[in-house]
Structure 1
Amino acid sequence: MTTPAPAAPVRVERDGDVAVVVLDRPPLNLFDESVFARFERAVAELVALTAAGRPDRARAVLLEARGRVVSAGVQVEAFRDIAEGPDPVGEGTALWARLIRLAQTLEDLPVPTVFAAHGLTLTAAFELALACDLIVAAEQASFGLVEIVVGLTPSMGGPQRLAERAGPTRAKELVFGGERYPAARLEQWGVVNRVLPDEGFAEAAREYARRLAAGPTVAHAATKQLVSTAVRDGVRAADAVLPQVSGPLFASEDLRGAVASFLADGPGRATHRGR
């Protein structure tokens, strides 16, 4: 009898119109070179799966993890090897340049992205969560950027994306202190979007992603572009690009179908196709 090959530590699955990225490296879902490389492959796959015009297009993305925790962080040996290597500055700079590209590529996907945190979510996993549009968390979930324990600052985009969500002083507090914060606290600060009951959390997160995937995909992409422009460049900059971003929505099947449905059947009854 042939023993089945172990599942990849990071893989992409499909749940209807939702592409689900699964982190599954028991027991603690620690990040090392193999996990980072797998995430790069998974995000490259998402770029292809979410491309406009694809007949089997994924219209939302969900990141989730298996096991008791989402992730207990990064294997520290990776940092030791760089620090003790022949060119620590060069290797460290190359690592962060590579990983910030990963976060940015995830952030720039043209569909809604959701991170589902059911338990402890530290360092790299938390930074990937912050690169998603929305974070949903179970009541028992907790989060931390604890890189100070190894003399680092989070460098996959965590501090700056925390500043976007919660403001600069909260971002500094999370990073300087290296503490773990419960989901309810981070919901109060605007970092976590929704806290859901522990019981049935995984399915509730999936259902939330399915609802987003059933929406007007082209309009969601426009929303992402306008919000990102406003945050990075200011409201007037978003105003300036709005006609070019939102004008083409009138040519989308989603808009035409929704308008026809609204006039015939009333609001909220349209079925969107993501085109």
Structure 2
Amino acid sequence: MGFHRTDDGPLAVLTLDHGDLNLFDHGVFESFIDAVDALDADPPRALLLHASGRVVSAGVDVHEFDGLAPRDAAILWRRLIRAAQALEDLPCPTVFAAHGLCLTAAFEIALACDLLIAATSARFGLVETVVGLTPSMGGPQRLTERAGPARARQLVYTGELFDAQTLAEWGVVTQILPDDTFADDARAVALKLANGPTRAHAATKRLVRTAADHGVRAADALVPDVSAPLFDTEDLRGAVASFLKDGPGKASYSGL
């Protein structure tokens, strides 16, 4: 049990399934690393991450920290950060769907995804302060990027839970969907991205990442390198022909 992959046409679906609370233990951490390694080796056209069970995750099994030596903790965090970065760098849209309570490691994984979709009743927290720890899978720094340093400090220092609406106002949650149709609606969002112009989405992702890391002018300089090659793709040529013949919104894409 842990993370396992299925496919829905062009969409890869990574599901966390580890009991009703989806607690992260050694096996779940290893399954996350292995799943991301496999995605990195053969990227899909889009990725949806979600969880089965009553909650997304109630956090990390604290037994994992009992007696953990600093050297071993450092090794673990380095491996998990590399996996989060690999997830972040996938050349396709990534969507995290949170249907309920989403704590610690699961929330940090969500923050490494392009889009964080939440059910109306979902709640989020980085609560590591209750065991004297700071979130160590990239949460504070990715919260800083989305919500700013003051909000990141508030969320981590307090260890409090925050609802989806609050985090949407902060720029952390990108979309809120109704509870009763959440699973189907979130999958539909991800499938729409998977059926889109895959290489154009990858170009967009590079431009946004470059702008966030190095500023708008650096992204400007990258535009010719990432945009011009799109004119040699089947998707762009087909979409242009479709637009001219049938009008906008009628094109279909193969990802080529």
Give the TM-score, by structure 2 length: 0.98
The 5 Å alignment of 1:5-84 reads: 8-50=1-43, 58-82=44-68
Superposed CA deviations along residues 38-64 of structure 1, whole A, max 9, x for unmatched, are 1111112212331xxxxxxx3110001
Question: 2:151 maps to which residue?
Answer: 170
Question: 2:242 maps to which residue?
Answer: 261
CA separation in 2, counterparts of 1:167 and 1:124? 20
The 5 Å alignment of 1:148-163 reads: 148-163=129-144
Match of 2:112 among 125, 131, 143: 131
Q: Does 1:201 align with 2:187?
A: no
Match of 1:243 among 224, 231, 236: 224
CA separation in 1, counterparts of 2:70 and 2:25? 19
CA separation in 1, counterparts of 2:80 and 2:248? 43
Letter in 2 for 1:40: I
Question: 1:3 maps to which residue?
Answer: none
Quote how far apart the aligned CAs of 1:25 are.
0.7
The 5 Å alignment of 1:79-118 reads: 79-82=65-68, 88-118=69-99
Letter in 2 for 1:160: Q
- Aligned residue pairs total 256
Quote how far apart the aligned CAs of 1:89 are.
2.6
Structure 1 segments (4+ residues) deviating >3 Å: none
Match of 1:214 among 195, 205, 211: 195
Give the TM-score, by structure 1 length: 0.91
CA separation in 2, counterparts of 1:202 and 1:268? 25
CA separation in 2, counterparts of 1:119 and 1:170? 21
Q: Percent identity?
A: 62
CA separation in 2, counterparts of 1:247 and 1:202? 37
Give the SS at the match of 2:95: strand
Quote how far apart the aligned CAs of 1:179 are.
0.4
Quote how far apart the aligned CAs of 1:200 are.
1.3
Give the SS at the match of 1:81: coil
Q: Does 1:122 align with 2:94?
A: no
Give the SS at the match of 2:213: helix
Q: Is the 8 A contact 2:2 2:32 kept in 1?
A: no
Quote how far apart the aligned CAs of 1:166 are.
0.8
CA separation in 1, counterparts of 2:72 and 2:213? 29
CA separation in 2, counterparts of 1:260 and 1:81? 63
* Alignment gaps of 5+ in structure 1: 1-7, 51-57, 83-87
Question: 2:169 maps to which residue?
Answer: 188
* Alignment gaps of 5+ in structure 2: none
Letter in 1 for 2:17: D
